[in-house]
Amino acid sequence: MSTQRHQHAIVIGGSMAGLLAARVLSEQFERVTIVDRDQLPLSAEPRRGVPQSVQPHVLFSKGYQILEELFPGIGETLAARGAVEFDWGKDFLYFQKGNWTPTTETPIGLKSYTCTRPLLESTVRQRVSSLPNVELLQNQRVIGLWGNATSIQGIKLQQGSLSAQLVVDASGRSTHLPEWLQDLGLTPPPMTVVDPGLGYATRRYRIPAEALPDAKIVLISQEAPDQPRLGYLAQVEADQWIATLGGYGRDYPPLNDQGFVKFAQTLSDSAFYQAIVHAEPLSEIQAHRATVNRLYHYENTKLPDGLIALGDAVCALCPIYGQGMTVSAMSSLVLRRWLQRSRNSTFKGMSFQKQLARSNAFPWSIATGSDSKFSTTKGAIPPSWAGELFQAYADRLAVRAQNDVDLHLQFLQIGHMLKSPGLLFHPQLILKALL
């Protein structure tokens, strides 16, 4: 394990993946510079470079646990700023396969917070900014890599350049790394794209007391192949609720008042509609269409020394599954382990990318497997016979879980990446599926 403290690391992108990467890099480098094209707001405000800021974001329990590990006490800070603490067993209502999954009367320990993305991101950014060896370089656009096909020495900016021993691309879906590699004479990474044609629209409401849901988060799920529509309702700060409607196969929800509410009536259950039909709108309806699942296979790509990529710049998932920020948090721990095991300062990126690929494999399979069930999905991944057999088994367990609290909690722990999917093959669960 390396105890050497390196000189300088650069992170391209100041969103969640970049902030968490910078936090981990600060343990091993004398200086860490986050370079972002935006002027980053001091308060919890949406920003131009993150068009999905106004859309709902929630941390899985695994993601929240990692945040607490990296920033002790951050949950208390979030709560003080208005975030709503909740428990996934007690406060989450989920409608799937024609019924609601059960909830518990008391918390089960799957804790997290629900809030707007600007609140969460600004809270993390303030903690990262307070680190003495981390600098935020704002309003700066990275235009290329400084180096050659063998080694990267830094980045090129519109005005000047910055040198570093390690460059981390955390620039999200707008990454230009494949083109930059091509400019160096290298082959860009292979790419897998699964496009569900999902579009969603979001509005904030104040819901009257008599119409409040019996939970802090309500999800009415899409059901392939015949129900492409979904609804997500979450309590956030200031006694507001974020209401999101979505449709697969380009069955987009309308962006006008009447059409939005009518779309809600078509969901598989009326709970969403009943909550908003007499609620007070607090915002315009805002659409989001960047929902393609895209995976760059950097684990199979020759990279120059001193260069790695993570977050949505590598594995961008359909946002409706809520995995993105938790996957970024898990990536930061992969980065920490890789840095601790580095024996010199050449930073050969392929070993990191292989470890990251293993970390991303399960959330990628969840998102693309679900999206591929719709016939309208472009690039759908056809299931193997083993995959179809497993899916039938998992669907049978999911139906059983609607009347089995313990089984439902097992699914939650797997979905939140707290337990291995191998748990599904425990003899007790197999017996429940067969009965």
What is the per-residue pLDDT across 346-396, written as a single tens digit (0 to 9) for each? 799 999 999 999 999 999 999 999 999 999 999 999 888 877 888 788 888
Note whether residue 52 is domain-resident. no
For residue 88, what pLDDT is reported?
Answer: 94
Among candidate residues 288, 322, 338, the one where a domain is terminated:
288
173 and 270 together in one domain: no
153 and 299 together in one domain: yes
Using the predicted structure, report yes or no on whether residue 196 has a pLDDT greater than 60. yes
For residue 435, what pLDDT is reported?
Answer: 74
| DSSP one-letter code for 100 | E
**Residues belonging to the chain:** 435
221 and 161 together in one domain: no
214 and 240 together in one domain: yes
Neighbouring residues of 385: CB distance < 8 A, sequence distance ≥ 6: none
173 and 212 together in one domain: no
Note whether residue 65 is domain-resident. no
Using the predicted structure, report yes or no on whether residue 206 has a pLDDT greater than 60. yes
Q: Looking at 79-83, 204-208, 331-335, 419-423, which range is the least confident one?
A: 419-423
What percent of the chain shows pLDDT beyond 90?
74
For residue 237, what pLDDT is reported?
Answer: 92
- Structural domain including 396 reads 385-434
- The pair phi, psi for residue 415, each rounded to 5°, is -60, -30
266 and 347 together in one domain: no
106 and 224 together in one domain: yes
Among candidate residues 238, 265, 288, the one where a domain is terminated:
288
Note whether residue 176 is domain-resident. yes
Tally the domains of the chain.
3
Mean pLDDT of the chain: 91
Q: Which tokens hold the place of 255?
A: 């962006």
Using the predicted structure, report yes or no on whether residue 4 has a pLDDT greater than 80. no
- pTM, entire model: 0.93
For residue 351, what pLDDT is reported?
Answer: 93
pLDDT digits (tens, 9 = 90+) for 44-91: 666 555 555 566 678 899 999 999 999 999 999 999 999 999 999 999
Q: Looking at 117-131, 240-254, 339-353, which range is the least confident one?
A: 339-353
280 and 201 together in one domain: yes
203 and 282 together in one domain: yes
Using the predicted structure, report yes or no on whether residue 1 has a pLDDT greater than 50. no
Q: Is 284 exposed, middle or buried (0-12, 13-18, 19+ CB in 10 A)?
A: exposed
| DSSP one-letter code for 223 | B
303 and 278 together in one domain: no
Cβ count within 10 A of residue 142: 24
| 374, amino acid identity | F
Summarize the confidence of residues 126-138 as an average pLDDT. Answer: 96
Summarize the confidence of residues 307-325 as an average pLDDT. Answer: 94
179 and 214 together in one domain: no
